[in-house]
Amino acid sequence: MAQLRLDARNSVLGPRPSGAVVVPGKPDESTLWQVVAGAGTKPRMPFGGQRLPDESIEIIRQWIEQGASWPEGAGVTVHDAQQHWAYAKPVRPGMPAVRNASWPRNSIDYLVLSRLEKEGLAPSGEAGKETLIRRVSLDTRGLPPSINEIDAFLSDVAPGAYERLVDRMLGAPQYGERWARPWLDLARYADSNGYEKDRSRSIWLYRDWVIGAFNRNMPFDQFTIEQIAGDLLPHATLDQRIATGFHRNTLINDEGGVDAEEFRVAAVLDRVNTTATIWLGSTIGCAQCHNHKYDPFSQEEYYRFFALLNNDKPDIEADAFNVRAENLGPQVEVPTPKQAVEQERLQREVARHTATLEKQTPAMEAAQELWEKGWEKQESAWKAIDATPQDSLDGVKLTALPDKSVIATGRNPDQATYILTAKTDIRGITGIRLEAIPDGSMPNGGSGRAPDGNFILTGFELEVSPVKTQADPKQVVLSAAFADSARHGFEAERVVEATGKTGWSVREDGPRSAVHEAVFLTEVPVGFEGGTRVKFTLKQESPEKQCALGRFRISVTTAQYPGLNLWTSPGSKVRSQEQKMALAKYFRLTTPQLAETRKLRAEARERLQHLDIPTSMVIEAMPEPRESHILIRGNFMTKGTQVSGGFPAVLHKPAKGEAQGRLALARWLVDNENPLVARVTVNRIWEQYFGRGIVETPDDFGTRGDRPANPELLDWLAVEFMEKGWDLKAIHRLILNSATYRQASNVTPQLLERDPYNRLLARGPRFRLEAEFIRDIALTAGGILNSKIGGPSVYPPLPEGILKNSFSSYDVKNLWVNPEAADRYRRGIYTFWRRTEPYPSFLTFDAPRRDVCVVNRSRTNTPLQALVTLNDPAFVEAAAGLGQRMMQEQGTSGERIVYGFRRCVSRKPKQIESLELENLFRKSLGMFQKDPEAAKSLASSSGLKLAANTDYPELASWILVANVLLNLDETITKN
């Protein structure tokens, strides 16, 4: 309550309003000693608790008497920012002198060796060439080397062979895929929204952007800026907008009845915490509800940081009861080059036909005059649709009335969508009429639910499908719309334009008690023999809130000229100029003379709709910034003091004035004055190579995190990273070329006792690989890997029963059935990532669900993992592919075993290993020769293409050998 912190030096030794807590050298004048000893006038502490033991009180007295020495930089005892190592700007250390001066290959090695020599240890010798090429290949490409690559490296005895290998591997296109893998964990990338139904989302283009950025060796500062604020850069490119998908990877709750503001705030909080974790390595999220207990981040500073990320369009553009899967925030269309050409061509075609339909030529005027003379005004034959309203997502209750109209009651949301379905036997539908019917229960007795009794219809969509078949619904193209009454700027044709910003609304000066109607013309007649299923969607998404229809009726007609009763009789002199123009437009949109033009335009529009242009979710700033407040106890409903954007005071100040938004944040992060970002980033890279970071808590560089095992090495790498222009490949090249990295990974009893976790780096790395890479290694060894880079996520086979889990099959269940052979063998990074049900074999090998930012994955060792590599379809098919290749290899069975062994672990087997595998082959062959049907069953179920004269017993035996090879610990381990 008095804001006293006994873990903070300034709080204990600094001046305080109530007097010094500790006066060094003078315990009798120190409040701390007085209250624990009960020696002063203040209540003894702990208040109401048991008195401290005499020996503890005496230790405190002696400590004060001896000068109250406070250890510099000692873990949580140093709360003061300026004294904590992570908050001081890194400075490049000088190179230490070492005794074994022949060992270092670059600066990394001097700093590592200096520490080893202080500990009385020596580095290990260099690993063999087969080990090195496999290690480098896995670290740069996430794939094992081919036998040809191994042989080429072994035969290259010229100086610099290893360095040339490193350069080739870093230049491979698979480099981007390998290094995108850990970044996608950080970015919490997934292909689904994450809550309940866990609908799929389209954001795979962001994943492709990450892969491409790594392959282009985009500097890390630019990599940062484009992901956080690419859309705010001057003349932002489409790629830079796609990059902002980084912060659209948050979870989205699109269930009906949710409070959209609650989940919008939750998404912003996630963006704050993720940004701090990835770039600052800080647990700033602890300050969401109160001042950070251990690190120098206040709650106010947290919400100033929050304010920088709080000014973007929401993921859910709706109020609490109007959430729809198709309306999940900003997206961009990204056509392929081929699609872009076709899109432009079709748009030109539509524009050409539209111009023809809109042009009033003398010939058209003459034809219209003749048409009017021969036409007698009559009511179009309309038939009301007996429609069934669907349950509304926005809390509105829709009820069908006896006159086939529908009335809306219950909640009146800001925006609303009505969906009605029906079946009809009518064929050749040419028009749909929407009647807005006044009702005494509506405001002012009108037909809408707006305060004045009006409404604004922003969208009207019609989907049809045949009753007799299960064909997918087809959206009907509407060519035009007309209404008997409309506000200026709210004409019925704006509904067809479907901008969402305006729509049909009746005149404000007209009587609210009158029935008004709008007629929508279909581009071509609609209906199927045997009956038609019809789905009507009425959207009311105007910025003018609570403007939904109150009571309405839908009718259809097959008349040649539907809706002509909207105007006065032909030739009438009382027509207004507006009516004359509308009638002329109507004539051109219905006359048989232009039927072919209308048909061609409809076909072009339909082809445009079916181009299937990929979209990607992006961040987009609001026109005006939101107000941001401190949220009391982190509760979005309890707003405290208003705050503006800003940064933690313990870190550097922004280069130019006050922070204004995401772009200022991004530039502040990668400012060379920032003490954390370079350290945190090189530490994560180091962890990928050695299994542990120089700081073993990569997500916590605060006072509760671990101190660096080698502070000088960490700071040297951080400064090198910044001075080299944030060049990622330069850092990779340094590490890969170091003698530290090239050490053998053998563990001696001495090293196991002195340094069991290899923190001092007296040996090379050895640890199990990650889930996706284990799968990729198997597919590569089996010769079945599809090496295509980029593209939409794929759906490899799932174990039986996975899709039966609650909601797990929602909206993608058909995509998991019989995936294309090529797609089932794509790299693991492209597997569809469903948050509520991630790919099972990945989960077994410790992949996260990606609900939140994950800095490093755990590594467990369970029997389930062996069951996956023995039985999972991908591994069985990989074993079959490898077995078939071993069988087809020329030579003896021993030579075939060498071939298979090298494909899996990149080295030749030892004699004892060859003998064990040959015995397995012989034993299996004898078994399958006695049971050829079992051999045929195994070979046939593996997905192999088999010749008619296949020797099934031999093939099945090689498949079993291959299965063992893929299950070797060495196969799934980097060593």
Residue 831 has pLDDT above 90, yes or no: yes
Structure confidence at residue 74 (pLDDT) = 40
Q: Percentage of the chain with pLDDT > 90?
A: 69
Q: Tell which wins on pLDDT, 254 or 241.
A: 241
Model confidence, pTM: 0.80
Pick the closest to residue 887 from 933, 915, 924 (CA basis): 924
Structure confidence at residue 799 (pLDDT) = 80
Give the pLDDT band of residue 516 (cuts 50, 70, 90): very high
Residue 341 has pLDDT above 70, yes or no: yes
Give the pLDDT band of residue 553 (cuts 50, 70, 90): very high
Mean pLDDT of 246-271: 90
Q: Tell which wins on pLDDT, 479 or 775.
A: 775
Joined together, the tokens standing for residue 415 give: 């925006």
Q: Which of 37-41, 169-173, 261-265, 910-914 has the lowest mean pLDDT?
A: 37-41
The Cα 703–Cα 217 span in angstroms is 33
Structure confidence at residue 806 (pLDDT) = 58
The Cα 924–Cα 959 span in angstroms is 10
Structure confidence at residue 75 (pLDDT) = 35
546 close to 423: Cβ distance less than 8 angstroms: no
Residue 511 has pLDDT above 90, yes or no: no
Residue 580 has pLDDT above 90, yes or no: no
Q: What is the mean pLDDT of the chain?
A: 90
Mean pLDDT of 667-679: 96
Structure confidence at residue 574 (pLDDT) = 67
Residue 878 has pLDDT above 50, yes or no: yes
Cα–Cα distances (Å) from 586 to 556, 597, 764, 959, in that order, read: 17, 15, 80, 72
The Cα 260–Cα 360 span in angstroms is 49
Q: Percentage of the chain with pLDDT > 70?
A: 93
The amino acid present at 72, given as its one-letter code, is E
Q: Which of 533-542, 594-603, 827-836 has the lowest mean pLDDT?
A: 594-603
Mean pLDDT of 178-194: 96
Structure confidence at residue 78 (pLDDT) = 38
602 close to 478: Cβ distance less than 8 angstroms: no
Cβ–Cβ contacts within 10 Å for residue 512, how many?
Answer: 18
Residue 81 has pLDDT above 90, yes or no: no
Structure confidence at residue 551 (pLDDT) = 97
pLDDT digits over 780-808, tens only?
A: 999 999 999 999 999 998 887 777 765 65
777 close to 973: Cβ distance less than 8 angstroms: no
Residue 318 has pLDDT above 90, yes or no: no
Q: Which of 77-81, 109-113, 502-506, 605-609 has the lowest mean pLDDT?
A: 77-81
Q: Which of 182-196, 562-576, 959-973 has the lowest mean pLDDT?
A: 562-576
Give the pLDDT band of residue 349 (cuts 50, 70, 90): very high
Structure confidence at residue 14 (pLDDT) = 84
The Cα 93–Cα 783 span in angstroms is 48
Mean pLDDT of 584-599: 85
Cα–Cα distances (Å) from 153 to 128, 329, 473, 765, in that order, read: 11, 51, 58, 21
Q: Which of 101-115, 655-669, 714-728 has the lowest mean pLDDT?
A: 655-669
Three-class secondary structure of residue 496 per DSSP: helix
Structure confidence at residue 531 (pLDDT) = 94
Structure confidence at residue 508 (pLDDT) = 73
Structure confidence at residue 83 (pLDDT) = 72
The beta strands (E) that lie in 697-761 are given as none
Residue 325 has pLDDT above 50, yes or no: no
Mean pLDDT of 646-669: 88
Three-class secondary structure of residue 832 per DSSP: coil
Residue 951 has pLDDT above 60, yes or no: yes
Tell me: cis bond preceding 797? Omega within 30 of 0 counts.
no
Pick the closest to residue 850 from 864, 876, 831, 868 (CA basis): 831
Q: Which of 304-318, 464-478, 566-580 has the lowest mean pLDDT?
A: 566-580
Structure confidence at residue 322 (pLDDT) = 43
Q: Which of 243-247, 365-369, 969-973 has the lowest mean pLDDT?
A: 365-369
